[in-house]
Structure 1
Amino acid sequence: MIRKIRIENFRSIADSGDVYLPKFGAIIGKNASGKSNFLSAIAFLKELVTGVDIGTAINGITPMTSEFFYVTGSPNRPAASTLISTFKFTIETDSGRHFEFTYQVGLNSTKQPPFFINSETLIEIVNGSEKSIYTREGENVFGEGTSSPTKILLNRLALASHPDESSQQVANAIRSYTIINEQPKLRGDAILVSENRIDTNTVEGLAVSLQKKDRELFNAAMACIKKIIPLFEGAQIQAIESSTASDSVDINSEEKKNPKLFFVLWSYKGFVPHSSASLSNGDRRTIFLMLSLFNSRSKSFFIAEEIENGMHYQRLAKIVDQLRTYGNVKEIQVLFTTHSNEILAALMLDEVLYCRKEPEKGSLLTAIKETAQYEIIKEELRGGSTAADVVNSGMFE
């Protein structure tokens, strides 16, 4: 889980200040206000912690180096050779320990590769006191109580490989985050899933992954989806020998040596089982969200961009209810962006963060209850107001 974030000089964010993230909640705001950039900062951290080099991770965000940093037309903006972005996260691990992790990304336009990790610090917070785990300056990493540094490549995050137990616990927590920022993949060969290559960016891969991990949890996920899609009956997953697979299906030689292939179809009441290619976009998105949630580890973090994409509006409240219910049961932090009034009607005020962009300050993220607009009209809204009531009042026009 991430309890608090602070981001400086990243994309549309100049300085977010300290932002406390809810256990369950949504980020709202106008188009181009910068909502996605806050989620991108978390996704970027996960990429680096999995061991991806910084250049590759940045290319996943933007092809232009200048767009990684906060862009303003001010003549006082620092020269490109001095640009630094700062990311600070207060992280709770599975065991309930709290850590503060800060790192800086720098750009030196005169060198190749231009991006580098400028610094890192990992601190454990125990009963209000801080205990240093390690610090990094450039390529030098100093563990607690050591005077001689270990070396690390400038384009790699030390947290990804630092050997002490505390660092590994934080890194494992971050690696467990589930981040959905696009529609599920749809491949022609998706009905066949190899145990050697389970792609959890597809509904088939998610279904096989969950069934192999925990059959009882898989059944619970199917029951959850049925509550949202009434005609849905479940996923049919059949293990087959790779040698019996159709010659028309592309299976590489390594997979042909492995007999563990899984054939996946989807069952609906009154219909012949079919592949995901015949699912509606809304059904595929619903199944993908729920299977991703149930695949998430307890006490981890589930993040999704605009969960309403491709959905019929009458389905949205049920999806929010399932996200909240399962998140509470498994202690999974859930955060998503939305523009949907139907979703807002299912949320309470303390579950919503409001994103706005100001000319001189960039994108800012604030709990609705802490905004000046809410203070002005809260008397008119007292008594069980939903987030939709607040937004529909016109206070954020």
Structure 2
Amino acid sequence: MITRIEIDGFKSFLNFVLDVPPFLALVGPNASGKSNLFDALGFVADEITGSGGLLSAGRGLPAEQFHRVARGAPVPGFAVSVEALVAPEPGAVLPIRFDVGAEMVLRIPRSSGAVVSHVAHHLPEELLEFIVEDPEPGVTPRRTVQSWHRYALSPQAMRCRCSPAERGPLAADGRNLAAVLGRMAGSAALADLVADLAGVVPDVVALAPRLDREECAFDLVVDGQGSVPSALLSDGTLRVLGLLTALHDPDHPGTLLVEEIENGVHPRRLGELLRRIRHRIAEPGGDRPFRQVILTSHSPVVVAEGYRTDPDALIFLDTAVRVDPDGDRVSRVTVAKPIQPDGEPGTFVSPRQVRRYLEAAA
């Protein structure tokens, strides 16, 4: 479970620090840094697993991962640190810290300005620091970051059939949904999944995973309609089903990173979806497989639900122009604004501002 994120020099972040609870909703306007935050976590995961965070970046070329400035010297590199809790064995919870980064070496070519000539994308093993001694060197770090699952679910992908040999967690786009449901068939986890799905999508009676010509498929049983093949389900129903499937999967607990959770969900049902997600949150070391959810949203429903149930789990991301004390560097950076009753202007979001946001969006 991720507990703290520190980012300096990566994309829109400079000296950025965020404490992360088991459930966190990141709300903010477009281009405020929500996706960049998930990109930073992806960079850490790629570095730890050995694939190389810059070379495998999903958005942008290697040089474009570095913070961009409007005026002044470019940043020489960036660092991303993630603190997390891991459970190496039942009943044991240990803190762990990942410190990774990259440097940019500049040269002046004959043509024009400075360009990237070299990127240090792989750090020596000794730079991977642990708060405690790792009980399984080389195993626990990789397993920890592999439990961070980022989802941008594609209904088209989730309608597809797939091989029953797929035993991994739900894919980022959900393309192996039928195989995951097949693996869960007959379990208490599938029954719990159906109960939560019925709370969000009315009239759902059951899920029916099946094998058809040696391929995994599934039907959704709806009251008054009978079995509906996955190919005929609506985009919104599939997105809700995919998210809840990842949340209930008993074999692959972890942290779910969900972008724009409101996509395809009716506003009247979104609050119920959030309540059911929160009910499934479990910290490491307990009786249930641990579940953490970090989501991004533009929806006032998410703001209202978070403000009503747990203001500490609601963070507003925004951007601000930052001028270094010496005045040599000017750039736009991401800032996190928690809800607080008072404080220095511009450093927090007050309950009154939240109410105004909700009233304006109504």
Same fold (TM over 0.5): yes
Letter matched to residue 93 of structure 1: V
Q: How many residues align?
A: 326
CA contact (8 A) 1:15 1:362 kept: no
Matched with 2:163 is 194
- SS where residue 42 of structure 2 aligns? helix
- The one-character-per-residue Cα deviations of 1:56-113 (angstroms, maximum 9, x if unpaired) are 422x121x333211111213225xxxx3120111111124100121011233467877
Q: Which moved more, 1:321-330 or 1:103-112?
A: 103-112
Q: 1:215-260: per-residue Cα shift (whole Å, max 9, x none)?
A: 21112111110111112223222234xxxx3xxxxxxxxxxxxxx5
Deviation readout 1:313-354 (Å, 9 max, x if unpaired): 001001100110011464422111111111211113111112
* One-letter amino acid matched to 1:88: S
SS in 2 for 1:267: strand
Equivalent-residue separation in structure 1 for 2:231 and 2:55 (angstroms): 31
Structure 2 Cα separation of the partners of residues 117 and 285 of structure 1: 35
TM-score (norm 2): 0.79
Name the CA shift for 1:213/1:273 in 2 (closer, same or farther; >3 Å): closer
Q: Which residue of 1 aligns with 2:84?
A: 91
AA aligned to 1:125 is I
Per-residue deviation, 1:6: 0.6
- When Rg is computed on C-alpha atoms for both structures, the one with the higher figure is 1
Q: CA contact under 8 A between 1:296 and 1:302: conserved in structure 2?
A: no
1:376 shift after superposition: 8.9
More helix by share: 1
Name the amino acid aligned to 1:332: R
The code of the aligned residue for 2:293 comes to V
Q: Report the 3-state secondary structure (helix = DSSP H, G, I; strand = E; otherwise coil) of the residue aligned with 2:268.
A: helix
Contact 2:337-2:348 within 8 A present in 1 as well? no
Tell me the equivalent position of 1:287. 241
The answer for the alignment partner of 2:111 in structure 1 is: none
Q: Does 1:356 align with 2:318?
A: yes
Deviation per residue, 1:153-209 (Å, 9 max, x gap):
xxxxxxxxxxx71442132121112211x232524971x321224683365733532
Return closer, same or farther for 1:323/1:366 CA change in 2, 3 Å cut-off.
same
Structure 1 residues 353 and 272, CA gap change in structure 2 (3 angstroms): same
- Give the alignment partner of residue 227 of structure 1, picking from 173, 180, 199: 199
- What are the ranges of 5 or more consecutive residues in structure 1 without an aligned counterpart? 134-163, 246-259, 382-386
Q: Which moved more, 1:261-270 or 1:285-294?
A: 261-270
**Quick one: which of 320, 323, 336 aligns to 2:295?**
336
- Partner residue, 2:176: 205
Contact 2:23 2:293 in 1 (8 A): yes
Secondary structure of 1:77 counterpart: coil
What value does the CA root-mean-square deviation take over the aligned residues? 3.1
Deviations 1:138-165 (A, max 9, x none): xxxxxxxxxxxxxxxxxxxxxxxxxx71
- CA contact 1:341–1:388 (8 Å) conserved in 2: no
Secondary structure in 2 aligned to 1:284? helix
Aligned equivalent of 1:157? none
* AA at the equivalent of 2:206: G
Structure 2 runs not aligned, ≥5 long: 108-115, 283-287, 323-331
Q: Match of 1:116?
A: 121
- In the other structure, the counterpart of 2:131 is 125
Corresponding residue for 1:239? 211
The answer as to whether partners of 1:98 and 1:125 remain within 8 angstroms in 2 is: yes
SS in 2 for 1:74: coil
Superposed displacement of residue 286, structure 1:
0.8
CA distance 1:363–1:204, change in 2 (3 Å): closer
SS in structure 2 at match of 1:311: coil
Matching residue of 1:183 = 153
Report if the CA contact (8 A) 1:24-1:324 is conserved: yes
Question: 1-side partners of 2:236 and 2:15: how far apart?
Answer: 37
Instruction: Name the aligned partner's letter for residue 2 of structure 1.
Output: I
1:269 aligns with 2:219: no
Distance 1:108 1:33 in 2: 28
